[in-house]
A and B are shown apart, each in its own frame.
Chain A
Amino acid sequence: MSHLFLGWVIFPPLLYSEKQQPIDFSHKLHVDEVGECEGCHYFREDGSFSGIPALENCLECHEEQMGEHPEEAKLVKEYVEPGKEIPWLIYARQPQCVFFSHAAHVKLTKYSRDIWGWNIAGYKKHTWDRMKMDDCAECHEARGSHDACFVCHK
């Protein structure tokens, strides 16, 4: 019993570090406003994926404060005005041993939103919901695409 207690109540807060993003960014809000992903997460001319947008992207709209939200005020004051890049904490990134092509998933299939929908903050709230191998495999299997090791582990 004591171990159940330890395991459920005491250890989790010790093992899981809770971290706040520098800005409490809402994907939901932005997708509703902008309407698509490509405004911020675009493909470069050479087909590589830009990934996390730079401050430059934010400046396209937020050069000055647009609304009332305190987080937006924080963005403008702490990052836009001094011209400082936002140190986003990135947990969606795959480890070095994995080859993940955004182009293959976004441009060639219609499932990108599904993958996106599983994992991105605002839709799921726990950091342990990072994309793991079994998540990839599950979808690959369900959609009948290749699921050999070398598809991802080049």
Chain B
Amino acid sequence: MKLDRRTFIELIVGFSAGAGGGFMLTPVNWKLMDDATIWSQELWPRYQLGGLKGQLPQRGKVTHADSVCNLCPGGCGITVRKVADRVTKIEGREGYPVNNGGICPLGASGLQLLYGPWRVPSPLKRVGERGSGKFESITWDEAINEVVQKLGDLRNKGQSHTVTCILGSDRGTVPQLFDRFLKAYGSPNFVRTASAEDTYELALGLMQGATGSVGYDLENANFILSFGSGLIEGWGSPVRVIQAHSRWRSNNLKKRAMVVQIEPRLSNTAAKADNWYPVKPGTEAALALGLAHVIVKESRYDSNFIENHTFGFEDWSGSGGKTYRGFKRLVLAKYAPEAVSEITGLQANKIVELARAFAKAKRPLAVWGRGKGTVSGSLYECMAVHALNALVGNINKPGGVSASPQVATRTWPEVDRDTTAWSGLRKPRIDGAGTGRYPLTKYLPDRWPQVINGGKAGTIKALLVHDADPYYTTLDSAAVAKAFDHIPFVVSFSTCMDETAYHADLILPNHHYLERSEDIPTPVGLQKPILGLLRPVVSPQFDTRHTGDVLMSIAKSLGGSVADAFPWEDYETVLKETMGEKWDTLKKAGYIEDVSYKPSTWGQAFGTPSGKFEFYVTAFDQAGMKVGKDLDYLPHYEPVQPEGNPATYPLILIPTELMRLANGAIGNPPFCTKTLEETELKRNDLFVEVNPKTAAEYGLSEGHRAMLETPKGKAKVLVHLFEGIMPGVIGIPKGLGHTAYDDYLSGKGVSANSLMGVVEDPITGLSATWGIRAKLTSV
């Protein structure tokens, strides 16, 4: 047969039809079609989920386990829902004395932290340059040996005091183990990361002679005067405050409490308040004293409390016959409404109205702590606000304020220190706290980078970080990064790859909080003693170890008196023995609440030198502190000047805080980041809030790209026009701009801390920064 074009085409067509027809009579095509349905049903959704089978819900028995949330100092009770071995949901625990069934967005996202790609899977040792993120996996024995060798060397060389520990808390057994370790090892350098508690503890110590931080009876107050506290933005124990907030707003449709917010920006708290008084940022103390002026002048204060239980209200004579100015004379002379109006920008008649309303209320309460309470703040501002509480006599009263109590636990035997330990402990702290200029301050968490950068390199030879992310949370990120370069050995105990871990030499990952046991002391801001128990609800997902156990292994390998300080077999034993007879109750119920607790009555409440509430702080003299002028002994307004030259930086930048954006040691989980609006974060670009007036002045419009510059750094941002922020002020959300973690968080936005500096409080040395000067230019 001749193969021409025609036959060729005939052949092809015939062959194809025959083949098709042939195949149609076989099961092949049906099978392929069937396979296609299976693929599209099962593989495609799986592919969309990232190809990970583990992300599909596992089948199995549904169980619930109770524990406590450890993602912020709020200490909420949680109930974890599990399907087989997998945690599928975290809910608020019903009936828990802190949050009674409620949960915040961060707490609900806890399982993303458990299963997310940012977990540190095993002990890691840095192999690349610091900050390159190159680590190799090592065994636990190797990791512990590495630390032991380093710390052993330093101790043998008599340099034990150069070892520093930075932790997120100083309460509870694990922080106490670190404290004990440093005592036995020989270093005074235990540092707690910054929070409003730093200043409140001092204010309560000075004015009331109390130990511990502040507790507010929010549930029973009926007039809440908030000096910039983000009551529904995550301040205090967030769920508890939000629940109290809803009770203030309504009680069978009848309003139960007045809420007044003093803040330069219309935050959610301000928007929900009955009255919002925007004052110039940083002038809150002046307003508090202005209110005090009106209350004193019109004799609206609690005379019983003021006359019988306070010191330094009226003028008084010292032993030398000298007359000292009292609080009354001070506020009457210096803080008249007109003068305060000048400082704060608030009309004088509004100040008078507010003061009258506050003093007239049945159970008024003034609360302090900017935003979420993540910065230390100014001592005099805190004292001025606290003085308002004293004026209305709500100290240790229902609906008032008292020192936050702890559930009593067993104390540990005293540490036997050898001569090396003693000589190390006698050395001054690197941050200067507790000595010299700042005898009353316990920790100065924002100060050590400056000390190192100020030429004292080598003051920290080894840094151990637990439950904190100082690399990210400390103000002035550039200074922190520089200081880190001078620390030869950094160990992180972090569960996840946070910035500190990323820049560490060694990571010894702790169990996630759903995988371990630990005691959780009274949550921040609570006025009743509650001890919660963190319980392992899921088995460890990775090769991690409890930091309590790791620290004890290190101590035991160091030998000698350091090892002797830890007579316990493991952390579980420490926990059990510390709880003593309370252990059984704690284990069964998951928490201990001392329901019978009541703050002491006024006669017994004050541990000050005068035995009374002190407007005039005598403890300064007792501590041998030179505070200078007479004025310095009283709460007064001393402006904290933001850094920067007003000519170069005409605007003021303030950090803003959101309930949906975690800004502490825990990075924002993807669930929460998803909730950020398009006017907060757009792809990787951060919006800053600018008043339309200011924007017009600089020729900026909504969504405009601009360069935000402060004396500490600069960053490209987008402009969001917002009438709720004062003209001349820019608001930047705190919590973004992470460089570590994973693709869900890294590289998104700008870190507010990288643009802020540290302005030290003259008395405490703590950071009193509330903002910084800035300029905004169109790019």
Question: Are A and B interaction partners?
Answer: yes
Q: Which residues of A contact B (CB under 8 A)?
A: 1-4, 6-8, 11-12, 15-16, 44, 46, 48, 50-51, 95-97, 128, 132
User: Across the interface, do B23 and A3 meet the contact criterion of CB distance under 8 Å?
Assistant: yes
Q: For residue B42, which residue of chain A has the nearest CB?
A: A95
- The minimal Cβ–Cβ distance linking B135 to chain A, given in whole angstroms, is 34
Counting chain B CB atoms within 10 Å of each CB, the highest count among A1, A7, A50, A95 belongs to: A7
B410 within 8 A of A: no
Question: Which A residues touch B27, using CB under 8 A?
Answer: 7-8, 12
Residues A15 and B31 in contact, CB atoms below 8 Å apart: yes
CB-defined interface of B189-200 with A at 8 Å, one 1/0 digit per residue?
Answer: 000000000000
CB neighbours (8 Å) of A12 from chain B are: 27-28, 31
Shortest CB distance B110–A (Å): 23
B29-50 CB contacts (< 8 Å) to partner A: 31-32, 34-35, 38, 41-42, 45
Contact yes or no, B59 A3, CB < 8 A: no
B171 to chain A, nearest CB (A): 39
Q: B41 — which chain A residues lie within 8 A by C-beta?
A: 95-97
Residues of B within 8 A of A2 (CB): 22
Q: Residue B25 at the A interface, CB < 8 A?
A: yes
Do the beta carbons of A3 and B18 come within 8 Å of each other?
A: yes
**Most chain-B Cβ atoms within 10 A of its Cβ — which of A4, A44, A97, A128?**
A4
Partner of A8, one of B18, B26, B38: B26
**Nearest chain B residue, comparing its CB with the CB of A2:** B22
Query: Which residue of A16, A50, A95, A132 contacts B31 across the interface (Cβ within 8 Å)?
Result: A16
**Residue in A1, A8, A44, A96 whose beta carbon sits within 8 Å of that of B42 in the complex:** A96
CB distance from B233 to the nearest CB of A (A): 37
24 contacts between A and B (CB under 8 A): A3-B23, A3-B26, A4-B22, A4-B26, A6-B22, A6-B28, A7-B23, A7-B26, A8-B26, A8-B27, A12-B28, A12-B31, A15-B28, A15-B31, A44-B62, A48-B61, A48-B62, A51-B59, A95-B41, A95-B42, A96-B41, A96-B42, A96-B56, A128-B34
Asked if B138 is at the interface of the complex by the 8 Å CB criterion, the answer is no
Contacts of B95-138 to chain A: CB distance below 8 A: none
Determine if A7 and B22 form an interchain contact, defined as CB atoms under 8 angstroms apart.
yes
SS of B interface (majority): helix
- CB of A91, distance to nearest CB on chain B (Å): 10
* Max chain A C-beta neighbours (<10 A), residue from B25, B26, B32, B34: B26
B399 to A: closest C-beta gap in Å: 43
Measured between beta carbons, the chain A residues less than 8 angstroms from B35 are 15
Which residues of A sit under 8 angstroms from B18, Cβ to Cβ? 3
Min CB distance, B159 to chain A, in Å?
A: 51
Query: Which of chain A's residues have a CB closer than 8 A to the CB of B28?
Result: 6-7, 11-12, 15
- CB contacts (< 8 Å) of B23 on chain A: these are 3, 6-7
Most buried by A among B25, B27, B38: B27
Residues of A with C-beta under 8 A to B25: 4, 7
The 4 closest A-B pairs by CB, nearest first: A7-B26, A3-B22, A95-B41, A7-B28
Q: Which residue on A lies nearest to B29, using beta carbons?
A: A7
Residues in chain A near residue B34, CB distance under 8 A:
128, 132
Question: Does B357 sit within 8 A of A, measured CB to CB?
Answer: no
Report the contact-size class of chain B (Cβ under 8 Å from the partner).
Answer: 20 to 34
CB distance from B23 to the nearest CB of A (A): 5
Across-interface contacts of A50 in B (CB, < 8 A): 61
* Complex CA–CA separation, A1 to B32 (angstroms): 20
* Shortest Cβ gap from B757 to chain A (Å): 52
B676: Cβ under 8 A from any A Cβ = no
CA gap between A75 and B171 in the complex, in Å: 53
Give chain A residues whose Cβ lies under 8 Å from the Cβ of B9: none
List of B residues within 8 angstroms of A48 by Cβ: 61-62
Q: How far is the CB of B197 from chain A (nearest CB, A)?
A: 43
Q: In the complex the two chains form, what is the Cα distance from A8 to B45 in whole Å?
A: 32
Q: Closest CB of chain B to A21's CB: distance in Å? A: 18
Instruction: Find the B residue at minimum CB distance from A8.
Output: B26
Chain A's closest residue to B31 (CB) is A15
Contacts of A6 in B (CB 8 A): 22-23, 26, 28
The answer to the question of B19 belonging to the interface, with a C-beta cut-off of 8 Å to chain A, is yes
Are B22 and A46 touching (Cβ within 8 A)? no
User: Is the CB–CB distance between B62 and A46 below 8 Å?
Assistant: yes
Query: What CA separation (Å) do A96 and B27 show in the bound complex?
Result: 26
Give Cα A76–Cα B420 distance, bound, in whole angstroms.
61
Contacts A3-B23, A7-B26, A44-B61 known; 12 new A-B pairs at CB < 8 A: A1-B22, A3-B22, A3-B26, A4-B22, A8-B27, A11-B26, A12-B27, A15-B35, A48-B61, A95-B38, A96-B41, A96-B56
Residue of B nearest to A95 (CB): B41
Chain A residue at minimum C-beta to C-beta distance from B22: A3
By the criterion CB–CB under 8 Å, are B59 and A96 in contact?
no
Instruction: Provide the bound-state CA to CA distance between A15 and B42, in Å.
Output: 18
Which residue of chain A lies nearest to B45 when distances are taken between CB atoms in the complex?
A96
CA of A44 to CA of B22, assembled, Å: 51
- Output the least CB separation between B89 and chain A (Å): 14
Contact of A3 with B31 in the complex, beta carbons under 8 Å? no
Residue of B nearest to A96 (CB): B45
Kindly state the separation between the CA atoms of A109 and B34 in the bound complex, as whole angstroms.
29
Complex alpha-carbon distance, A59 and B19, angstroms: 55
B19: nearest chain-A partner, CB-CB = A3
How many Å from the CB of A16 to the closest CB on chain B?
7
Chain A nearest CB, measured from B435 CB (Å) = 60
- With a cutoff of 8 Å between Cβ atoms, the chain A residues found around residue B56 in the complex are 96
Residue of A nearest to B61 (CB): A44
Scoring A3, A12, A132 by chain B CB atoms within 10 A of each residue's CB, the highest score goes to: A3
| B58 CB → nearest A CB, Å | 11
CB-nearest residue of chain A to B21: A3
Chain B CB count within 10 A is highest, among A1, A15, A16, for A15
Given contacts A11-B28, A16-B31, A128-B34, contact A97 B61 (CB under 8 A): no
Chain B, residue nearest A12 (CB): B27
Bound-state Cα–Cα, A11 to B23, Å: 10
Chain B residues whose C-beta falls within 8 Å of the C-beta of A1 in the assembled complex: 22
Q: Are A15 and B32 in contact (CB under 8 A)?
A: yes
Residues of A within 8 A of B26 (CB): 3-4, 6-8, 11
Distance of A96 Cα from B42 Cα, bound (Å): 7
* Min C-beta distance of A128 to chain B, whole Å: 7
A97 to B38, CA, bound (A): 11
- State in angstroms the CA–CA spacing of A97 and B42 once bound together: 8
A90's nearest neighbour on chain B, judged by CB, is B59
**Which residue on B lies nearest to A54, using beta carbons?**
B60
- Nearest CB of chain B from residue A40's CB, rounded to whole Å: 15
Distance in Å: Cβ of B705 to nearest Cβ of chain A:
42
State A16–B38 Cα separation when bound (angstroms): 14
How would residues 605 to 634 of chain B score, 1 for a CB under 8 Å from any chain A CB and 0 otherwise?
A: 000000000000000000000000000000
**Distance in Å from the Cβ of B102 to the closest Cβ of chain A?**
24
Residues of B close to A7: CB separation below 8 A: 22-23, 25-28
List chain B residues, Cβ under 8 A from A96.
41-42, 45, 56
Contact A97 B22 (CB under 8 A): no
| Bound form: Cα–Cα A8–B41 in Å | 27
| CB of A88 to closest CB in B, whole Å | 12
Residue of B whose beta carbon sits closest to that of A97: B41
Closest chain-B Cβ to A127's Cβ sits at a distance in Å of: 11
* Chain A residues, Cβ within 8 Å of B45: 96-97
| B61: A residues at CB distance < 8 A | 44, 48, 50
Complex Cα spacing A2 to B62, Å? 55
- B369 CB, nearest partner CB in chain A, Å: 43
Give B26 Cβ to nearest chain A Cβ, in Å: 2
Complex CA distance for A3 and B25, rounded to whole angstroms: 9
Set of chain A residues within 8 Å of B62, measured between Cβ atoms: 44, 46, 48
**CA of A121 to CA of B22, assembled, Å:** 32
Nearest-neighbor residue (CB-CB) of A15 within chain B: B31
B59 partner residues in chain A, CB cutoff 8 A:
51
Q: Residues of B contacting A97 with CB < 8 Å? A: 41, 45
Chain B: CB-nearest residue to A51: B59
Closest beta carbon of chain B to A135's beta carbon, Å: 13
B-side contacts of A44, CB under 8 Å: 61-62
- Complex interface: chain B residues within 8 A of A3 (CB): 18-19, 22-23, 26
- Report A45 CB to chain B, min CB distance, Å: 9
